[in-house]
């Protein structure tokens, strides 16, 4: 079968790869929509230590179940399912505490096993969710990125912050827009977005942002009066560059919280006197739990969240070119879907 194989920094090709063999407790899925994730673009450039070439990436996917392993409900055969690519051992101290996203033995389809950028992919049966009739595979493929947003919003609204009236999301790419929607759906009355690309600002407005600003300064000015000059309760940095981490702290009110999900840069400097004197809460957010994934899928299926009009699914052969284009710079189109022919 065909798969897109990443061989190292900016080296990717479509080639013949081994077809997965079904195992007990697993299913073989023929992905019909696999989204390219921002973390995979960093991976493509060789900037993510957790990906080792040669690797078939792809962890945002949905598709048709073509084989079921021993012990798996045969009723899944032929069903279109969304796949939660993340598995935890369920037994360690972190899993027992409900922190399954941080399990030291967690595995992700597309990092630890071949992912969705291929004609067939193996997935644990307990991680697949049949989609109701009429729900597109592309919609199901958005559950993974939205689950990240659900997790961010949950951490943002965790105890200790008081009432959250104003929030700012920095970054209007997929993850930023997912964080925006989760924050709105979780009941934050006014969520603003900071995004330099105009088309993405428009998309943020159509997906529930109270306002969209070109820069952090602009957002700060717009929110100054509304927050009694104090700053906003919550900032979500969905970029992770030095400038956006600084902007996040600049926007925050004393005692406010920033949730950091963007991974653009590793080491950046930050003024820590401000963190201390502002009593800021710096909260990292990584991945999601099964509950977060299920909440995300529910919102998508109900039509409460999405990315607006879904772009077409491109053939796997266009994958290497799509990766090269996406790393060249941000575009208006936030999500690219790929899929094989499955013949």
Contact between 148 and 174 under an 8 Å Cβ cutoff? The reply is no
Q: Does 89 bind Zn ion (CB under 5 A)?
A: yes
Name the residue with the smallest CB distance to Zn ion: 103
Torsions phi, psi for 93 (to 5 deg):
-60, -40
- Which of 102/211 has CB closer to Zn ion? 102
Contact between 52 and 105 under an 8 Å Cβ cutoff? The reply is no
Exposed / middle / buried, residue 47 (Cβ in 10 Å: 0-12, 13-18, 19+):
middle
Residue 94 CB, nearest distance to Zn ion (Å)?
5
Q: Does 103 bind Zn ion (CB under 5 A)?
A: yes
Residue 57 CB, nearest distance to Zn ion (Å)?
24
Residue 100 CB, nearest distance to Zn ion (Å)?
6
Q: Does 108 bind Zn ion (CB under 5 A)?
A: no
- Which of 101/174 has CB closer to Zn ion? 101
Q: Three-state secondary structure along 241-289?
A: CHHHHHHHHHHEEEEEEEEECCCCCCCCCCCHHHHHHCCCEEEECCCCC
Q: Does 339 bind Zn ion (CB under 5 A)?
A: no
Q: Does 211 bind Zn ion (CB under 5 A)?
A: no
- Which of 99/243 has CB closer to Zn ion? 99
Region from 16-24, 100-108, 115-123, 163-171 binding Zn ion, contact rule CB under 5 A: 100-108
Q: Does 95 bind Zn ion (CB under 5 A)?
A: yes
Q: Does 88 bind Zn ion (CB under 5 A)?
A: yes
Region from 53-61, 97-105, 110-118, 300-308 binding Zn ion, contact rule CB under 5 A: 97-105
Measured between alpha carbons, how far is 293 from 298 in angstroms, rounded to an integer? 9
Q: The tokens of 125 are what? A: 């049966």
Contact between 269 and 149 under an 8 Å Cβ cutoff? The reply is no
Alpha carbon of 131 to those of 24, 31, 217, 301: distances in Å?
23, 13, 42, 8
> Which residues form the interface with Zn ion (CB under 5 A)?
88-89, 92, 95, 103
């Amino acid at each position: 079968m065909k798969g897109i194989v990443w061989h190292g920094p900016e080296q990717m090709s479509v080639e013949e790869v081994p077809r997965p063999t079904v195992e007990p407790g697993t299913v073989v899925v023929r992905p019909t929509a696999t989204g390219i994730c921002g973390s995979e673009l960093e991976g493509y450039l060789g900037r993510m230590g957790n990906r080792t070439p040669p690797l078939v990436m792809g962890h945002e996917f949905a598709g048709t179940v073509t084989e079921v392993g021993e012990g798996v409900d045969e009723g899944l055969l032929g069903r279109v399912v969304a796949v939660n690519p993340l598995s935890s051992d369920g037994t360690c101290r972190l899993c027992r505490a409900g922190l399954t996203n941080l399990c030291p033995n967690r595995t992700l389809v597309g990092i630890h096993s071949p992912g969705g950028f291929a004609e067939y992919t193996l997935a644990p049966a307990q991680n697949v969710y049949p989609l109701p009739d009429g729900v597109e595979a592309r919609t199901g493929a958005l559950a993974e990125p939205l689950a990240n947003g659900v997790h961010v919003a949950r951490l943002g609204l965790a105890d200790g912050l008081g009432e959250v009236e104003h929030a700012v999301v920095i970054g209007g790419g997929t993850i930023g827009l997912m964080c925006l929607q989760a924050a709105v759906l979780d009941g934050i009355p006014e969520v603003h977005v900071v995004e330099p690309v105009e088309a993405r600002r428009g998309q943020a407005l159509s997906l529930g942002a109270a306002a969209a600003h070109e820069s952090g300064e602009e957002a700060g000015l717009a929110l100054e009066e509304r927050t009694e000059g104090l700053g906003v309760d919550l900032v979500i940095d969905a970029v992770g560059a030095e400038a956006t981490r600084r902007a996040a702290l600049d926007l925050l009110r004393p005692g406010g919280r920033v949730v950091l999900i963007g991974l653009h840069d590793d080491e950046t400097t930050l003024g820590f006197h401000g963190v201390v004197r502002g009593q800021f809460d710096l909260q990292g957010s990584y991945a999601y739990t099964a509950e977060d994934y299920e909440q995300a899928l529910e919102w998508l299926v109900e039509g409460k969240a999405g990315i607006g009009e879904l772009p077409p699914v491109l053939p796997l052969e266009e994958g290497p070119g799509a990766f090269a284009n996406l790393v060249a710079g941000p575009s208006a189109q936030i999500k690219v879907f790929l899929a094989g022919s499955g013949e």
